[in-house]
Amino acid sequence: MTAFLTVVFALWFGLTLLCQFIKPTVSGRLLRWDYPGLIPMYRVFDRRVQDLTLYYRSHPEGEWKPFLEQREARLRQIIWNPEGYRHKILWSHLRSLSDFHHAGVPIAPYNLSNQGLENILLEETECREFCQFAVSEGGTIIYASPGGFAR
Amino acid sequence: MSQPLYWTLLLVGLAHLLSSCELLAARKLFGPEARCCWSLLSQKFPERLARLLQPLGGHPGVLALLALRASSGLWLICCPSSWAALVSLTVLTIVLHARNRPWMVDAGDKFLLMVTLGLLLAGLPTQSVLSAEPALESVALIFIAAQASLSYFTAGFYKMRNRWGNGRFLSDLLDCQLLVGRTHATFLKRYSWLLPLMETSVVTIQLMAPALVLMGPTCAKVLVLWSFTFHLLGAWGLGLRTFSQAYWTCYPAILWCAAR
């Protein structure tokens, strides 16, 4: 039994070690020692996206309004459409738009919390698109771990 | 009785107790309209499974699970030799993680689950971790210390790759009011020259963590002291309390390994 458990421990550690660097997209829960959002966060950082709040602050409303409208329409569809509910929602590590609002991000004229959009989440693909958009616009994004926030 | 394992068990019990109490105190987060409500989080499960899990995942159910986990943590503190307490903690933690993903499960939670599961395995043959065979006891302690070192090294590696060290990351963080309280931000901004220093020290020590464990007791003590301060500051300034609770559990293993 001891020998068997020793092998189990060794395999577990070996796999963890392998998963840190070999295949960074693997999200095995006990096999990666990063924050829940480390991968998207650092990918975002690689693209020189630093601070979403700064992004919003440094851009006049009109420039990102159409983008946000488009996002919102899609998000509404994903979340509220009963058919959309049946689709697999890819859970994003990025926070809901309303959280950005609460963080002091001026996303007016959309007062998201007043529109009952508290629970809108960004899909993983959308998160990526959003970041790419922000970068292409010369913006910056800060990403924060939802786990830490939620506490 | 192994002292390092005894202390690890106590710290694991304490970490589960504190983390559960903290979530119970923030129970509004699980309410019907809140961010972690079941109607939203259940979407990640197939429809039938979600309906089946409703009693556990719903608002009163999740609070009951948290209360049970807190009680199991207390049970482990009072009776560290109890393998049943470890089984209970492991099962409840896995269920809660499955329920709360992705919002409320961070690397601290994962680390704590890993240590708990490791202790559970070590106690499997004798049904008590404290009377585990010496060989298995050593393997378990080495495993915990190695995982802790690896987790620090990985975090340091990614930080280094992303050019931590000029103070910009912490400076950006201080601008995010949701993360950092106004008092902390004001305090740290007054000493902004400290930020690059803090970033560099974090990256350096995280990268050196495995080496520090291997270099003997004195270096391991430096690592433990730094880690304690680092997580304490993270808990105080950024609200990352689960990290501190979880990483304290690996200190006995680190010190034990370093002494050998």
Q: Does B99 touch chain A (CB under 8 A)?
A: no
Higher-pLDDT residue of A119, B198: B198
Give which of B178, B80, B159 is closest to A104, Cα–Cα: B178
Give which of A38, A47, A37, A15 is closest to A28, Cα–Cα: A15
Chain A, chain B: beta-carbon pairs less than 8 Å apart: 145
Cis peptide before B102 (omega within 30 of 0): yes
Whether A127 shows a pLDDT value over 70: the answer reads no
Instruction: Tell me the ipTM for this assembly.
Output: 0.84
Residue in chain B nearest A93 by alpha carbon: B102
Q: How confident is the model at residue A14 (pLDDT cuts 50, 70, 90)?
A: confident
Residue A132 identity (one-letter amino acid): Q
Q: Which residues in chain A touch residue B45, judged by CB atoms under 8 angstroms apart?
A: none
User: CB-CB: which of B105, B150, B241 is closest to A36?
Assistant: B105
Inter-chain contact B43–A54, Cβ cutoff 8 Å? no
Most distant CA pair in chain B, distance: 56
Average pLDDT, integer, range A23-50: 35
User: CB-CB: which of B29, B106, B124 is closest to A148?
Assistant: B106
Inter-chain contact A50–B168, Cβ cutoff 8 Å? yes
Buried b / exposed e over B111-120, threshold 16 CB at 10 Å, is bbbbbbbbbb
Cα B211 from Cα B244, distance rounded (Å): 21
Residue A110 identity (one-letter amino acid): Y
Give which of A13, A36, A17, A14 is closest to A143, Cα–Cα: A36
Q: Is A139 helix (H, G, I), strand (E, B) or coil?
A: coil
User: CB-CB: which of A33, A93, A103 is closest to B176?
Assistant: A103
Query: How far is A30 from chain B, CA to nearest CA, in Å?
Result: 6
- Most confident of the following: A37-51, A108-122, A129-143: A129-143
Query: How far is B105 from chain A, CA to nearest CA, in Å?
Result: 5
Cα B129 from Cα B122, distance rounded (Å): 6
Q: What is the pLDDT of residues A46-73, one digit of tens each?
A: 222 223 333 333 344 444 444 444 444 4
Which H or E run contains B89?
helix B83-100
The reported pLDDT for the residue numbered B100 is 79
Q: Which of A4-8, A34-38, B97-101, B254-258 has the lowest mean pLDDT?
A: A34-38
User: CB-CB: which of B118, B158, B176 is closest to A142?
Assistant: B176
Query: How far is A46 from chain B, CA to nearest CA, in Å?
Result: 7
Cα B195 from Cα A11, distance rounded (Å): 39
CA-angle at B234, arms to B257 and B149, nearest 5°: 25
Cα B169 from Cα A20, distance rounded (Å): 22
Inter-chain contact A149–B179, Cβ cutoff 8 Å? yes
Query: How far is A128 from chain B, CA to nearest CA, in Å?
Result: 17
Which B-chain residues 132-161 have CB contacts (< 8 A) with chain A? Answer: 133, 135-136, 139-140, 142-143, 146-147, 150-151, 154-155, 157-158, 161
Cα B80 from Cα B252, distance rounded (Å): 15
Inter-chain contact B110–A33, Cβ cutoff 8 Å? yes
The reported pLDDT for the residue numbered A124 is 43
To the nearest 10 degrees (0 to 180), the angle between helices B3-25 and B107-122 is: 140
The reported pLDDT for the residue numbered B115 is 92
Above pLDDT 70, what percent of chain A?
Answer: 12
The reported pLDDT for the residue numbered B35 is 58
Cβ-based neighbours of B217, under 8 Å, separated by 6 or more: B255, B258, B259
User: CB-CB: which of A53, A142, A147 is closest to B103?
Assistant: A147
- pLDDT tens for the 260 residues of chain B, in order: 678 999 999 999 999 999 999 888 878 778 775 657 777 677 667 778 888 888 888 888 899 999 999 999 999 999 988 889 999 999 999 999 888 765 567 778 888 999 999 999 988 888 888 888 888 989 999 999 999 998 888 888 877 776 677 776 676 566 544 445 556 666 777 777 888 888 888 889 989 999 999 998 999 999 999 999 988 887 877 667 788 889 999 999 999 999 98
Whether A90 shows a pLDDT value over 70: the answer reads no
Q: Which residues in chain A touch residue B238, judged by CB atoms under 8 angstroms apart?
A: 148
The reported pLDDT for the residue numbered B221 is 93
Inter-chain contact B36–A150, Cβ cutoff 8 Å? yes
Inter-chain contact A150–B109, Cβ cutoff 8 Å? no
Whether A4 shows a pLDDT value over 80: the answer reads yes
Residue B21 φ then ψ, to 5°: -65, -40
Query: How far is A44 from chain B, CA to nearest CA, in Å?
Result: 10
User: CB-CB: which of A6, A21, A45 is closest to B162?
Assistant: A45
Residue in chain A nearest B27 by alpha carbon: A151
Residue in chain A nearest B138 by alpha carbon: A6
